[in-house]
Amino acid sequence: MFGAKRSAAFNSAARADYYRGHLSGLTAHERHVKLVADYQAFYAPRGGGGAGGAAAEEKHTRHAAKLVETDLSALQAGHRFIRSEDDDREASWEARLAARYYQRLFKEYCIADLSRYKDSKLGLRWRTEREVVAGKGQFVCGTKGCDETAGLCSYEVNFAYSEAGERKQALVKLRVCPMCAYKLNYKREKEFRMATSGGGSEGGGRSGASKRGATSGDG
């Protein structure tokens, strides 16, 4: 009992020391880059081990190259990094921190398709592995096809999706640039303009997004 408490206290002190020494002075984007790099260093297939290691490395490379922006690949990416208890037990605290951060990112942010925004149709999907690593949807506008990084705003959107044959819903973050934010709220803005100009309000529909405020970067 005493040993477990002492171990927990030691781990807590080690975490605080690690944060002060490695993360506290970094921006959100710099922390993202470091933690993703740590994850890949700890958990990516190693090149060693002869032919088996080389084959694993080649397989990993081929798999990464096949990632495409589809709902299916994004959902698969969200489940690719489940660790076993043995893996986490043997890993260092630094490795576990990187793994927890990496796994959390897959279902914290989403990608939006606003190509039919004038019809009030919003498409959402999870991010692919490549997008998570690049910060797409977190430090780069989360609208498909937009690479803007300035003035991003965070919105909470209701995302309905299927997982293991079960329908689920979750509030997820959508980070968009000012132009895409206008598209996201197009119908609401149009109704407001019509109401204030005396033209009345269009019926039907309401935006599923609520603004959380403009920030330089979540995380």
In terms of Cβ atoms closer than 10 Å to its own Cβ (0-12, 13-18, 19+), residue 218 is: middle
Mean pLDDT over 111-139 rounds to 91
- Whether residues 149 and 82 share a domain: the answer is no
Mean pLDDT over 144-150 rounds to 96
Residue 118 lies in a domain: yes
> Is pLDDT larger for residue 156 or for residue 133?
156
Residue 126 has pLDDT above 70, yes or no: yes
- Whether residues 134 and 192 share a domain: the answer is yes
* Full domain range(s) for residue 178: 110-214
Residues in the chain: 219
Roughly what angle, to the nearest 10 degrees, separates helices 93-105 and 28-43? Answer: 110
Using the 3D structure, point to which of 81, 105, 129 is the last residue of a domain. 105
Mean pLDDT over 177-186 rounds to 95
pLDDT digits (tens, 9 = 90+) for 32-64: 777 777 767 766 654 444 444 555 555 544 544
121: left (phi over 0), alpha (psi -120 to 50) or beta: beta
Residue 156 has pLDDT above 70, yes or no: yes
CA 183, chain centre distance (Å): 21
- Whether residues 156 and 83 share a domain: the answer is no
Residue 219 lies in a domain: no
- Whether residues 91 and 135 share a domain: the answer is no
What the block records as the tokens of 190 is 């149009």
Mean pLDDT over 170-198 rounds to 88
The residue written with tokens 């300035």 in the block is: 150
- Whether residues 76 and 152 share a domain: the answer is no
Residue 179 lies in a domain: yes
> Is pLDDT larger for residue 26 or for residue 219?
26
- Is residue 175 a contact partner of residue 154, using CB atoms and an 8 Å limit? yes
Residue 84 has pLDDT above 80, yes or no: no
- Whether residues 59 and 11 share a domain: the answer is yes
Using the 3D structure, point to which of 74, 105, 136 is the last residue of a domain. 105
- Whether residues 201 and 152 share a domain: the answer is yes
> Is pLDDT larger for residue 157 or for residue 79?
157
Lowest mean pLDDT among 14-28, 65-79, 108-122: 65-79
In terms of Cβ atoms closer than 10 Å to its own Cβ (0-12, 13-18, 19+), residue 48 is: exposed
- Whether residues 12 and 83 share a domain: the answer is yes
Using the 3D structure, point to which of 105, 131, 152 is the last residue of a domain. 105
- Whether residues 83 and 152 share a domain: the answer is no
